């Protein structure tokens, strides 16, 4: 048997820290988890906020790619990293605003769009010493966080908290200032903004071109959420069907349930509250119906599993593998939808290409249809003769490494460049675009500056070993949710961890930043470490079985004197994917040839 091995370098150590590798902004999640474990919430939250000015928001609604990459997932369930971030945020005493930055550079930079991507770019540019002006079309900053995400998932004071922190760097903000065909990018350039970052998101809901789409009672999903979030009264009927299977469709469906209860609640006295609550609970138990239909099967739905479960708990009925054939109606009003069953959604190359099953028509009756089938950008502020090129789907074409559009002084990022994605990606885009803008301007000023820290790996290494007995046996903690009868209006559904839950969960962390380092000069190849390893990640093999030639040369040169009398040379191999950092090998070693060292990458 042959073993393929690789020489370890800093990159390998870094790759092993799954949470940091998975996070688009490289958050040192393991570090704030360790601090939470010590009860140091303020320090923990500062670590979370260092690479991400939207850290409070991410503690609530992040799609948490860190958890998908968490190595603990290979041994059961990943760490509840998002919930731990929220715990740190809620217990942090860090109320000090960020100090206003000194302006070092004379170039004026415009950011178009005050969503997560635009504000992140503005924040990091401002921190570098540029004066940034944010142009925002609405009366509030936050973009889809405010306009799209419902309040029962993201309380508005949390958005406010992150935005105040961002604004404390001293950027100029022009609210209610949309760029459009009357106030274009060229107009902004004439005002002296020579460098521009476009981050206007995808604000327009797509429409399906089906028969009946203009009947009364047919809404666009994004417009519906925008109106509810802006506080307008939106009247929907008693049986609603939401078309679409992503998170937006789920947000629409769950908002409809709350909207119905809101409509009934226009002038409720305090005495009547209990009766209204009871009536609402009865409504939620079946008097009013909300359905979601989507072409995808359950496993293919582009919404997170947790959101689907919560929607179903709230009484929403999901119809999978259905395609909308037409909307049926009478006298201009919706009566229902006609569907066809779906055989498959994606082709062999994974491209969206639904195959429908003929003669499987089915009618679902309803009085409201809400279409949540995707979003696209609105870019009427680009002149028809603009040098800025678009992709086929209407997003802005950029160089994905530098975020530069086809016009060199204009950059773009977030949803307007990549299509609808998520907050942490939008933040990462804003941050990387800020670095690229600074690099371009530094070069123009004739300054040489080493930047783009996103790709730099600087390791700080120190010996440190902490071991929580039986930590690998502790069960994953999940945040509790509000009971169904209290899910009314804007009440937040997901709750914060208790301190005890936080400690238990942080004890589960594998501490992937800690590495076992072997000293081949001291090692006597006794095999004690191999015997004690609980996951069998260590093995001693004949040297001939090792396939990496380069490593063999190094190894032989180090060990040939020591083992020259032995017939066979041996090698200790470690399978990093199986290591749980328990430290048993380190404690067992009779000659201290193993140390546990912690690497921090910045």
Ligand X SMILES: Cc1cc2nc3c(=O)[nH]c(=O)nc-3n(C[C@H](O)[C@H](O)[C@H](O)COP(=O)(O)OP(=O)(O)OC[C@H]3O[C@@H](n4cnc5c(N)ncnc54)[C@H](O)[C@@H]3O)c2cc1C
Q: Which helix (H) or strand (E) holds 338?
A: strand 333-346
394 binds ligand X (CB under 6 A): no
Residue range at the interface with ligand X (CB under 6 A); choices 211-219, 247-255, 509-517, 560-568: 247-255
148 binds ligand X (CB under 6 A): yes
594 with 517: CB under 8 angstroms? yes
| Min dist. Cβ of residue 539 to ligand X (A) | 42
CA dihedral 162, 165, 169, 174 (to 10 degrees): 50
| Min dist. Cβ of residue 422 to ligand X (A) | 3
Binding ligand X (rule: CB under 6 A), the pick from 89, 136, 435, 505 is 136
| DSSP character at residue 180 | B
Binding ligand X (rule: CB under 6 A), the pick from 78, 113, 212, 528 is 113
Binding ligand X (rule: CB under 6 A), the pick from 61, 83, 196, 593 is 61
414 class by beta-carbon count within 10 Å (0-12 exposed, 13-18 middle, 19+ buried): buried
Bridging pattern class, strands 362-365 and 172-174: unpaired
Phi, psi at 484, each rounded to 5°: -55, -40
Binding ligand X (rule: CB under 6 A), the pick from 53, 65, 78, 116 is 116
Site for ligand X in 24-53 (CB under 6 A): none
Residue range at the interface with ligand X (CB under 6 A); choices 19-27, 129-137, 393-401, 525-533: 129-137
| Min dist. Cβ of residue 244 to ligand X (A) | 11
368-380 in b/e burial notation, b at 16+ Cβ within 10 A?
Answer: bbbbbbbbbbbbe
23 with 33: CB under 8 angstroms? no
134 with 122: CB under 8 angstroms? yes
Rounded to whole angstroms, the Cα distance separating 128 from 26 reads 19
Give how far Cα 497 sits from Cα of 73, 152, 438, 476, 511, Å: 20, 17, 40, 12, 21
Site for ligand X in 345-374 (CB under 6 A): none
Site for ligand X in 563-582 (CB under 6 A): none
Binding ligand X (rule: CB under 6 A), the pick from 48, 144, 295, 579 is 144
421 binds ligand X (CB under 6 A): yes
Site for ligand X in 159-198 (CB under 6 A): 178-180
Rounded to whole angstroms, the Cα distance separating 526 from 583 reads 17
| Min dist. Cβ of residue 41 to ligand X (A) | 23
CA dihedral 151, 153, 155, 159 (to 10 degrees): -100
Decide whether 353 or 495 has the Cβ nearer to ligand X: 495
Binding ligand X (rule: CB under 6 A), the pick from 27, 28, 117, 133 is 117
Give SS3 for 274.
helix
13 binds ligand X (CB under 6 A): no
| Min dist. Cβ of residue 46 to ligand X (A) | 22
156 binds ligand X (CB under 6 A): no
Decide whether 37 or 368 has the Cβ nearer to ligand X: 368
63 binds ligand X (CB under 6 A): yes
Q: What would the two tokens of residue 72 be?
A: 């603990």
| Min dist. Cβ of residue 62 to ligand X (A) | 6
Which parts of 358-494 are beta strand (E)? 362-365, 368-371, 375-376, 410-412, 459-463
414 binds ligand X (CB under 6 A): yes
Other Cβ atoms closer than 10 A to 491: 12
| Min dist. Cβ of residue 242 to ligand X (A) | 12
Residue range at the interface with ligand X (CB under 6 A); choices 83-91, 209-217, 410-418, 571-579: 410-418
Rounded to whole angstroms, the Cα distance separating 81 from 103 reads 36
435 binds ligand X (CB under 6 A): no
CA angle 348, 351, 352 (to 5 degrees): 120
528 binds ligand X (CB under 6 A): no
Residue range at the interface with ligand X (CB under 6 A); choices 139-147, 287-295, 454-462, 531-539: 139-147
Binding ligand X (rule: CB under 6 A), the pick from 159, 241, 426, 428 is 426
Give how far Cα 44 sits from Cα of 16, 138, 154, 159, Å: 21, 34, 21, 19
Length of the chain: 602
200 binds ligand X (CB under 6 A): yes
114 binds ligand X (CB under 6 A): yes
Binding ligand X (rule: CB under 6 A), the pick from 26, 65, 78, 143 is 143
Binding ligand X (rule: CB under 6 A), the pick from 51, 118, 315, 329 is 118
Decide whether 425 or 571 has the Cβ nearer to ligand X: 425
294 with 249: CB under 8 angstroms? yes
| Min dist. Cβ of residue 60 to ligand X (A) | 8
| DSSP codes joined into one string, 14-78 | HHT-HHHHHSTT---HHHHHHHHHTT-HHHHHHHHHTT-TTHHHHHHH---HHHHH-GGGGGSS-
Binding ligand X (rule: CB under 6 A), the pick from 145, 218, 324, 512 is 145
83 binds ligand X (CB under 6 A): no
Cα 558 to chain centroid distance, Å, stands at: 46
Residue with tokens 């599993």: 305
Binding ligand X (rule: CB under 6 A), the pick from 23, 185, 248, 308 is 248
> Which residues are at the interface with ligand X (CB under 6 A)?
61-63, 112-118, 135-138, 143-145, 148-149, 178-180, 199-201, 203, 225, 247-248, 251, 381, 414-416, 420-423, 426
């Amino acid at each position: 048997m042959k073993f393929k091995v690789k020489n370890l370098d800093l990159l390998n150590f870094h790759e092993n820290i799954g949470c940091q590798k998975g996070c688009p902004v490289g958050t040192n999640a393991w570090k704030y988890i360790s601090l939470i474990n010590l009860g140091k919430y303020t320090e923990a939250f500062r670590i979370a906020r260092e690479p991400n000015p939207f850290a409070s928001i991410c503690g609530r609604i992040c799609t948490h790619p860190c958890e998908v990459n968490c190595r603990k997932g290979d041994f059961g369930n990943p760490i509840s990293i998002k919930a731990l971030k929220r715990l740190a945020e809620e217990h942090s005493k860090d109320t000090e605003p960020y100090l206003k930055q000194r302006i070092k550079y004379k170039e004026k930079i415009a950011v178009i769009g005050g969503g997560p991507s635009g504000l992140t770019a503005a924040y990091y540019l401002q921190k570098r010493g540029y004066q940034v002006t944010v142009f925002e079309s609405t009366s509030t900053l936050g973009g889809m966080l405010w306009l799209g995400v419902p309040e029962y998932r993201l309380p508005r004071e949390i958005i406010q908290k992150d935005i105040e922190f961002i604004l404390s760097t001293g950027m100029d903000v022009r609210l209610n200032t949309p760029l459009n065909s009357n106030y274009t990018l060229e107009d902004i350039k004439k005002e002296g903004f020579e460098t521009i970052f476009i981050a206007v998101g995808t604000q327009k809901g797509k429409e399906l071109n089906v028969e009946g789409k203009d009947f009364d009672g047919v809404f666009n999903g994004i417009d519906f959420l925008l109106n509810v979030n802006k506080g307008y009264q939106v009247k929907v009927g008693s049986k609603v069907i939401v078309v679409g299977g992503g998170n937006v469709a789920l947000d629409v469906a769950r908002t409809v349930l709350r909207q119905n209860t809101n409509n009934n609640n226009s002038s409720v006295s305090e005495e009547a509250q209990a009766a209204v609550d009871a009536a609402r609970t009865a409504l939620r138990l079946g008097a009013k119906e909300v359905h979601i239909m989507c072409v995808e099967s359950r496993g293919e739905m582009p919404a997170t599993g947790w959101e689907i479960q919560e929607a179903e708990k709230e009484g929403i009925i999901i119809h999978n593998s259905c395609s909308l054939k037409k909307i049926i109606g009478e006298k201009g009003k919706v009566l229902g939808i006609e569907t066809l069953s779906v055989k498959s959604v994606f082709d062999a190359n994974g491209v969206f290409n639904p195959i429908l099953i003929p003669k499987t028509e089915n009618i679902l009756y309803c009085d409201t249809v809400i279409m949540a089938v995707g979003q696209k950008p609105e870019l009427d502020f680009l002149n028809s003769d603009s040098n800025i090129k678009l992709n086929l789907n209407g997003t802005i074409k950029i160089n994905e490494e530098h975020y530069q559009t086809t016009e060199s002084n204009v950059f773009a990022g977030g949803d307007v460049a990549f299509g609808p994605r998520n907050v942490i990606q939008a933040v990462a885009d804003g941050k990387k675009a800020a670095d690229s803008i600074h690099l371009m301007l530094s070069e123009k000023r004739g300054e040489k500056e080493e930047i783009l820290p996103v790709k730099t790996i600087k390791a700080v290494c120190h010996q440190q070993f902490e071991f929580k007995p039986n930590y690998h046996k502790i069960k994953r903690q999940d945040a509790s949710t509000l009971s169904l009868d209290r899910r009314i209006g804007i009440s937040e559904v997901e709750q914060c961890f208790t301190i005890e839950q936080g400690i238990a969960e942080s004890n589960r962390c594998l501490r992937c930043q800690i590495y076992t380092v072997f000293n081949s000069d001291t090692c006597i190849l006794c095999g004690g470490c191999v015997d004690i390893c609980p996951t069998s990640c260590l093995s001693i093999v004949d040297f001939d079985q090792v396939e990496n030639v380069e490593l063999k040369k190094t190894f032989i040169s180090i060990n040939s004197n020591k083992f020259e009398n032995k017939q066979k040379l041996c090698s200790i191999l470690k399978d990093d994917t199986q290591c749980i950092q328990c430290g048993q090998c380190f404690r067992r070693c009779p000659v201290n040839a193993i140390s546990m060292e912690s690497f921090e990458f910045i």
